[in-house]
Structure 1
């Protein structure tokens, strides 16, 4: 399975809508977590959901209110690449 930043963004979009009831029109790659008003517990839950989906350990460490969805997806993609290379 090839995991790209786009596929991670798609998964995050789905989870933000389904789990956190965030309207689709508020979710863009340039949207920050601060703009979504997600608290640290919500960020931790999103990280767990991503980790379960991708089979890697994802944490919310380093995410600030200014972090965009695209930046976070890029960090997650970097975690997946080494895990995939080890298989």
Structure 2
């Protein structure tokens, strides 16, 4: 899959507005990527250090290998040129 076909979405978590949900999918939702679900990060962390730093911190979590793998995969998508879509209602 080419990097310009991947979209990384950042939005409020639907049940907790103090959390940010990050997921990846192909444009048009035609192909499911090898990341199941989403990664949740605290909104305060996202606001203070940013998306890349939060994912980097998450990828270094040795006590949660599933979260670490998802964060690494999201970072790979972003570094290869994926489109980042930030929801306009983030923390409104």
TM-score of the pair, normalised by structure 1: 0.31
TM-score of the pair, normalised by structure 2: 0.30
